């Protein structure tokens, strides 16, 4: 990203882990500093079909950490958007960023275990290597 490019849209993938929340806080700070919008995505892995069906039954009620993200963004006067995606986490994050004109992805280095939600360590590695835009990795 050149110095002349202005950061307008920041994407933060969230899974509720400590590192993803650190990424969120960094993303909010960066968005406030650059007067950018913040989009938070949570990816439900395609193999969790039962969880997907449950989410549909709950009419897409966002997880608590997305509500936390929204409150943090509002408190800092940062425009906020959120999406719950289904599929392979790494691929879904990169695809979303490519199709929504995202300038920077701020992602935690490790997330929850694969058995709980998604394993963000491998996801962050995938995003770092496949993304066409800047990626900020948060440990």
Give the model confidence (pLDDT) of 12-70 as tens digits.
999 888 889 999 999 999 999 999 999 999 988 766 555 555 555 344 566 899 999 99
In-domain check, residue 15? yes
> Which pLDDT does position 53 carry in this prediction?
55
Could you tell me the CATH number of the domain that includes residue 104? 3.40.50.620
In-domain check, residue 4? no
In-domain check, residue 134? yes
In-domain check, residue 2? no
Expressed as residue numbers, the domain containing 22 is: 9-138
The residue that leads in pLDDT, 60 or 118, is 60
In-domain check, residue 21? yes
The rounded distance, in Å, linking the Cα atoms of 134 and 131 is 7
Assess whether pLDDT exceeds 90 at residue 102.
yes
Residue 16's closest CA among 73, 65, 61?
65
Number of domains in the chain: 1
3-state secondary structure 3-65: CCCCCCEEEEECCCCHHHHHHHHHHHHHHHHHCCEEEEEEEECCCCHHHHHHHHHCCCCCCHH
In-domain check, residue 3? no
Burial letters 114-139, b for 16+ CB under 10 A, else e: eeebbbbeebbebbbeebebebeebe
């Amino acid at each position: 990203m050149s110095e002349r490019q202005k950061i307008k849209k920041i994407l933060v993938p969230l899974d509720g882990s400590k590192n993803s929340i650190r990424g969120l806080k960094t993303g909010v700070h960066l968005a406030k500093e650059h007067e950018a919008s913040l989009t938070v995505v949570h990816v439900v892995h395609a193999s969790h079909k039962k969880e997907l069906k449950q989410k549909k039954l709950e009419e897409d009620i966002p997880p608590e950490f997305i509500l936390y993200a929204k409150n943090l963004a509002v408190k800092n006067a940062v425009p906020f958007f959120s999406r719950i995606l289904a599929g392979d986490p790494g691929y879904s994050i990169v695809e979303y960023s490519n199709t929504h004109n995202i300038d920077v992805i701020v992602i935690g280095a490790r997330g929850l275990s694969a058995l709980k939600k998604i394993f963000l360590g491998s996801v962050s590695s995938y995003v770092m290597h496949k993304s066409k835009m800047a990626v900020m990795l948060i440990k």
